[in-house]
């Protein structure tokens, strides 16, 4: 474990939405959807926490609430010593410089009517960085170089760029204000496989160069395998397993992690890995199952009545490894 004080502390975070009835979300609310359900983790400075789970499990909601782009319903977040939910608006604006987000869809997150130069100038103006035109121009040139784009791209519009180039612009925009903490919300999911590795390498170089701390969101364990120091696996708003990456990939304890891992290709064809195919869809977060939320799909042979009635706590099951399963100690 890294001994440095954590740069990011998330404690017991809760975020819920009113569940709406009817088509297009109109109609009276019928209860609440708990998209983030008592989530806790820490990230040491310069490290990466990979956050993995299926679509709809609450990853983006968690990320946005941590950055206070959404207001929380409970819990505490500390970033770089600042208690994020206790900050007044002016203090929050100052902290925004230190925490930035890169989105999955670089096309959707870039304004189609703004050139790359305008996109990169905007945060500099908001945060009053680079007072003169010349200072801003040299900052933009430096940012483009940092993300591996020729400076002539400054005059381009998003539609003139490839997916990988657009994501590089998204990364440059996040970096422009010199943050310490970056949330990467599925930054390579929308890119061609051939481009994914290049962008992952870029993110890793930038992390080293600027000692950045990452919360790296992905929907499968393959993407964060080589970049994450720790990995948290999320299911229906809860973390079900959290461990240092080498431990989680080598000896996962939660049946859900095991099933996700069984889908990750193994480079060595001599290594046989049992493929676990989950049956059934992810249950609706509007009516989560009783007991262990994973029980309707769980392939664990010891699964029993307790799994249907008693919620397993996220508990230590090995040094530095947490899992939320009554049978985490039993081999599957
Ligand atoms: N603004 C909102 N209003 C109501 N419900 C929402 C809202 N945003 C998200 N949700 C619900 O919260 C849950 C979590 O959604 P979220 O987008 O955080 O999941 P995700 O893990 O990021 O999924 P994906 O992998 O598809 O991006 C889902 O059930 C979603 O429908
Ligand atoms: S508590 Fe039971 S249902 Fe839940 S993951 Fe463990 S074995 Fe499966
Ligand atoms: Mg998402």
How many whole angstroms from 296 Cα to the centroid of ligand 2? 9
Distance 202 CA to ligand 3 centre (A): 22
Query: How many whole angstroms from its chain centre is CA 11?
Result: 16
> What was the pLDDT predicted at 287?
86
Atom 8 (ligand 2) nearest CA: 298
H or E element: which one contains 175? helix 163-175
Pocket test for ligand 1, best of 17, 72, 104 (most atoms within 8 A of CB): 17
Quick check: 163 and 192 in contact, CB under 8 A? yes
Is residue 238 in contact with ligand 1, taking CB distance under 6 Å? no
Taking only the tens place, the pLDDT of each residue in 70-125 is: 999 999 999 999 999 999 999 999 999 999 999 988 778 899 999 999 999 999 99
Report the predicted TM-score, pTM, of the whole model to 2 decimal places: 0.94
Which residue numbers in the chain have pLDDT < 50? 1-2
Output the CA 184–ligand 3 centroid distance in Å.
Answer: 10
Which residues sit with Cβ closer than 5 angstroms to ligand 3, an ion? Answer: 59-60
| Pocket residue to mutate for ligand 2, from 283, 296, 300, most atoms within 8 A of Cβ | 300
- Using DSSP, state whether 319 is helix, strand or coil: coil
* Euclidean distance between CA atoms 263 and 274, whole angstroms: 9
Q: Which residues line ligand 2 (CB under 6 A)?
A: 255, 292, 294-295, 298, 300, 303, 307, 312, 325-327
Distance CA 192, CA 203 (A): 16
pLDDT tens string 33-77: 999 999 999 999 999 999 999 999 999 999 999 999 999 999 999
**C-alpha to C-alpha distance for 312 and 332, rounded to whole angstroms:** 17
């Amino acid at each position: 474990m890294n001994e440095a004080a954590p740069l990011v502390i998330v404690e017991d975070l809760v975020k819920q939405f009113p569940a709406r009835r009817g088509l297009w979300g109109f109609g009276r609310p019928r209860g609440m959807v708990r998209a983030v359900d008592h989530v806790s983790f820490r990230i040491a400075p310069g490290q990466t926490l990979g956050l993995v789970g299926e679509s709809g499990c609450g990853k983006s909601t968690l990320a946005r609430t941590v950055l206070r782009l959404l207001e929380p319903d409970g819990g505490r977040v500390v970033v770089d010593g600042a208690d994020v939910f206790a900050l007044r608006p002016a203090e929050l604006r100052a902290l925004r410089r230190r925490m930035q987000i890169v989105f999955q869809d670089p096309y959707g997150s870039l304004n189609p009517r703004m050139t790359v130069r305008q996109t990169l100038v905007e945060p500099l103006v908001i945060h009053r960085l680079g007072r003169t035109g010349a200072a801003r121009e040299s900052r933009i040139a430096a940012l483009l170089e940092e993300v591996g784009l020729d400076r002539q791209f400054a005059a381009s519009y998003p539609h003139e760029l490839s997916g990988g180039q657009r994501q590089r612009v998204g990364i440059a925009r996040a970096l422009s204000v010199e943050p310490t903490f970056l949330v990467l919300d599925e930054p390579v999911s929308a890119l061609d496989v051939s481009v994914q590795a290049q962008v992952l390498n870029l993110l890793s170089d930038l992390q080293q160069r600027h000692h950045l701390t990452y919360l790296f969101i992905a929907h499968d364990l393959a993407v964060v395998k080589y970049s994450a120091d720790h990995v948290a696996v999320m299911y229906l708003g809860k973390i079900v397993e959290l461990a240092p990456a080498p431990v989680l990939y080598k000896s996962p304890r939660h049946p859900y992690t095991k099933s996700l891992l069984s889908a990750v290709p193994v480079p060595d064809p001599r290594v046989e890995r049992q493929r676990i195919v989950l049956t059934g869809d992810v249950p609706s977060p509007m009516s989560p199952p009783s007991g262990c939320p994973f029980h309707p799909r769980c392939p664990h042979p010891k699964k029993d009545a307790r799994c249907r009635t008693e919620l397993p706590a996220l508990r230590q099951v090995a040094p530095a490894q947490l899992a939320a399963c009554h049978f985490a100690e039993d081999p599957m």
